[in-house]
Amino acid sequence: MFTVNKAPLAGQQILVTRPQHQCQALADLIENAGGKALILPVIDIEHIARKNWQTENIERFDWLIFVSRNAVESFMAGWGDELPQPCQFAAVGEGTAQAMREHAIPVDCQPEISNGSEGLLQMPLMQADKVSGKHILIVRGNGGREHMADTLTARGAKITYVEVYQRVLAKPTATMQKQAMLADKVICTSVAGVDNLCSIFMNTWPGLLDKPLTVVSDRIKQHASSRGFKTIHVSADASDNAVVDTLINMDD
């Protein structure tokens, strides 16, 4: 715990844009570092009912790969059965793995560093000699990335998707938007988050693109730059601690 006079984020207001059910741990770390977390979810997550999943016979897969905490939550909300056996289960990072453990899903593979699909693809169990000929189901939201599927396909795996949730534009109140515009720094942890933030404040926050933005990957940085953000910092990985470290160190 930091002392009041040494708190590294003292006096700073930080805008947290994650979905409502995913922002509290990050907000707590910001507060512990002396900052004030301004919570403004820009994405709402809606489960897709199992009857509308594109994939049947999930029991036939060798691996299920969950790409996010939302993928885990929405899959379990719709699945409602015993986990398929003898399937193995993989997470792209620690947040996803934690959600799996909360639902008693075994974590058979996860990267040491939470840096998205790239980290998982580096793991020994995801190399060609292990996945060639395997049937792999990627559990994701609507419109997810293709990089993991393309890479595993090139390694000989047979890839199928199941989209178990959809991201929709949040509709924060005018009061929430007004408070958000007091932020000194902004956090966005997804491409959709960047887009939705811009959509919400397109006509009401002229200085948004001048705010220092913290993101969790070079891919998001490139996208944010294309949207006009001028100062963008990338955290060492996608963990909450790394995000807060970036907020602190950008002023050094």
Q: Pick the more confident residue, 116 or 35.
A: 35
Say if 4-42+170-249 and 46-167 have the same CATH topology.
yes
Confidence category of residue 114, pLDDT binned at 50, 70, 90:
low
CATH code of 46-167, in short, is 3.40.50.10090
User: Tell me, what's the pLDDT at 157?
Assistant: 98
What pLDDT, in 10s, does the model give residues 141-163? 987 778 999 999 999 999 999 99
Q: Please state which CATH class domain 4-42+170-249 belongs to.
A: alpha beta
SS3 assignment, position 45: strand
Is the Cβ–Cβ distance between 137 and 63 less than 8 Å? yes
Give mean pLDDT, residues 177-187: 97
User: Tell me, what's the pLDDT at 80?
Assistant: 86
User: Tell me, what's the pLDDT at 252?
Assistant: 62
Instruction: Give the phi and the psi of residue 184 in degrees, each rounded to 5.
Output: -90, -30
CB neighbours of residue 165 within 10 Å: 21
The whole-model pTM stands at 0.81
pLDDT at 4 over 70: no
Is the Cβ–Cβ distance between 108 and 97 less than 8 Å? no
What pLDDT, in 10s, does the model give residues 64-96? 999 999 999 999 999 988 888 889 999 999 889
What residue ranges do the domains of the chain occupy?
Answer: 4-42+170-249, 46-167
